[in-house]
Amino acid sequence: MSSKLWEKNFEVNTEIEKFTVGRDRELDLYLAKHDVLGSMAHITMLQTINLLTADELKALLQELRNIHQTVLDGNFIIEEGIEDVHSQVELMLTRKLGDMGKKIHSGRSRNDQVLLDLKLFTRQQLKDIAEDVKTLFDELIIQSNRYKDVLMPGYTHLQVGMPSSFGLWFGAYAEGLVDDMLMLQAAFKITNRNPLGSAAGYGSSFPLNRTLTTELLGFDSMNYNVVYAQMGRGKMERNVAFALAGIAGTLSKLAFDACMFNSQNFGFVKLPNECTTGSSIMPHKKNPDVFELTRAKCNKIQSLPQQIMMIMNNLPCGYFRDLQIIKEVFLPAFKELKDCLQMTAYIINKIEVNEHILDDSKYDNMFSVEEVNRLTSSGMPFRDAYKKVGLDIEAGCFHPVKEVHHTHEGSIGNLCNERIEELMNQIWSGFNFERMEKAEQQLLSE
């Protein structure tokens, strides 16, 4: 049997073939179980339009379930000389079932097949990312509530500014993840539309039932216009990359804060020992390696949208082989971000907070605004109060009252964490992951 779905009666130069296949055989392993699921939905539809008999469908579905289990067991490989996952699955079916296995490709192209695989893979990865974001969010809210009364300096220009609190610091990153989750939900909804049936981008002369495959795979809807379905290649990845980059940006900033606050010059927090490493020459060192690596990895992920845009930029409509290269930067990014989310949640859970930061007199002046506001509240014009406190500081006779009485929404004394949690829960419920999970389970059941 030919190892290539497109092969005719001439041979391709080996080096050219190696160049054009690139890393597809390696990267397609990410897509293997999703390729099988897509084929199961596709052939179920083919039977309803009489391109397969009921007996053929039954045999093919059973063998596809076996292949799916092989993938789950970690034993699926794309053999030497086989071009991609689509060819491997079809080859395995044909070895078991003969010519019956060759029928599964009726009414589709590798173009819509890989579009489908990428969407099934991506929506599962987005679910995993969303779960990890929610876990980190919960840890941040717990710590925000736990340390809501512990004051710390707030900075502008890296200069000591005004009183802040660990309640605010942890809670700020929690609310940041709410916005990131909203972007993630938008990416999920863009992803969760069915391209199958668009074939090479121009539809099929077979009377395909695209509504059926949409339902079988648990998509919210389909990409209706077949040309647009093909145009979605790269666009979906770019939009998802922006959502991943948003999360990465939040993590990177948090990691930088924690590294800085963990340093001896600050001493605001203590990171768990197992997340630090020592020096080969300085016995006192505890370096924040986990958060430094998180910062670097997340900064790399923030470049992902630009990498994808540069690959797909200025391509006209229709399929081009350029799009294959997107997989190289896109598919591995999910695990890298998941690792960073899980490491960050672990550290936030175990981080120790210094509750006596303000015992150091170098932070006294951060209460100057509180004094200005106190004088203003007692009737002194703001500009006069500002000048008086400034002169007292210059004269060395400013004596702060190290108490704050902020009550407005979102301030030190009124964190609004319960409102932030409500926002997160509203977004979470809008994903409706259950629909896709139920559909996939039904396809795999006997």
How many domains does the chain divide into? Answer: 3
pLDDT of residue 55: 97
Are 218 and 194 contacting, i.e. CB atoms less than 8 angstroms apart? no
Mean pLDDT of 91-111: 95
**Average pLDDT score over residue span 160-174:** 97
Residues 165 and 279 in one domain: yes
1: in domain: no
- What residues are paired with 163 via a beta bridge? 153
| Mean pLDDT, all residues of the chain | 93
End-to-end CA distance of the chain: 30
* Selected residue with higher pLDDT from 83 and 189: 189
Instruction: Tell me what the mean pLDDT of segment 340-368 comes to.
Output: 95
Q: Which pLDDT tens digit goes with each residue over 305-332?
A: 999 999 998 889 888 889 999 999 999 9
Is 2 a member of any domain? no
pLDDT band of 20, cuts 50, 70, 90? low
Tell me the C-alpha distance between 266 and 423, whole Å.
Answer: 33
Averaged pLDDT for residues 75-83? 90
**pLDDT tier at 15 (50, 70, 90 boundaries)?**
confident
Residues forming beta bridges with residue 155, ordered by sequence position: 160
**369 and 283 inside one domain:** no
Q: How confident is the model at residue 152 (pLDDT cuts 50, 70, 90)?
A: very high
How confident is the model over 418-433, as a mean pLDDT?
97
Which of 74, 105, 136 is the endpoint of a domain?
Answer: 105
Query: Is residue 172 domain-shared with residue 245, that is, in the same domain?
Result: yes
List the CATH number of the domain containing 40.
1.10.275.10
Q: CA triplet 373, 374, 376: central angle to 5 degrees?
A: 60
Spatial distance between the Cα atoms of 39 and 61, rounded to a whole number of angstroms: 9
pLDDT tens column, 202-250: 999 999 999 999 999 999 999 999 999 999 999 999 999 999 999 999 9
Q: Say whether both 379 and 231 belong to one domain.
A: no
Instruction: Report pLDDT digits (tens) over 182-215.
Output: 999 999 999 999 999 999 999 999 999 999 999 9
Q: Poorest-confidence range of 82-86, 148-152, 340-344?
A: 82-86
Percent of the chain topping pLDDT 70 = 96
pLDDT at 252 over 90: yes
CA angle, 51 then 220 then 307, to 5°: 100
Q: Which of 81, 105, 129 is the last residue before a domain boundary?
A: 105
Given this model, what pLDDT does residue 194 score? 98
| 353 and 369 fall within a common domain | no
Tell me, yes or no, whether 65 lies in a domain.
Answer: yes
CATH number, domain at 304? Answer: 1.20.200.10
What confidence score (pLDDT) does residue 185 get? 98
For the segment 262-280, the average pLDDT, to the nearest whole number, is: 89
d(CA 97, CA 52): 14
Tell whether 270 and 321 lie within a shared domain.
yes
Residues 77 and 158 in one domain: no
pLDDT at 334: 98
Q: Can you give the pLDDT at residue 417?
A: 97
Asked if residue 241 is part of any domain, the answer here is yes
Domain presence at residue 300: yes
Residue 7 belongs to a domain: no
- Would you state the structure tokens that stand for residue 296, as one six-digit string? 């670097």
Q: What pLDDT does 26 receive? A: 80
Is 18 in the same domain as 128? no
Is the pLDDT assigned to residue 251 strictly greater than 60? yes
Q: What is the pLDDT of residue 2?
A: 46
**pLDDT for residue 195:** 97
- List the domain range (segments joined by +) for residue 85: 14-105
Say how far apart CA 179 and CA 260 lie, in whole Å: 25
Q: Are residues 196 and 86 in the same domain?
A: no
Q: Are residues 48 and 115 in the same domain?
A: no
Q: Which of 75, 105, 135 is the last residue of a domain?
A: 105
pLDDT at 182: 98
| Same domain assignment for residues 28 and 132 | no
Question: pLDDT confidence of 142, banded at 50, 70, 90?
Answer: very high
- Per-residue confidence (pLDDT) for residue 220, from 0 to 100: 97
pLDDT band at 19 (very low <50, low <70, confident <90, very high): confident
Question: Quick one: tokens of 79?
Answer: 């053999």
The pLDDT score that the predictor gives to residue 424 is 98
20 vs 121 pLDDT, higher one: 121
From CA 35, how far away is CA 115, in angstroms rounded?
10
Other beta carbons less than 10 A from residue 7's beta carbon: 13
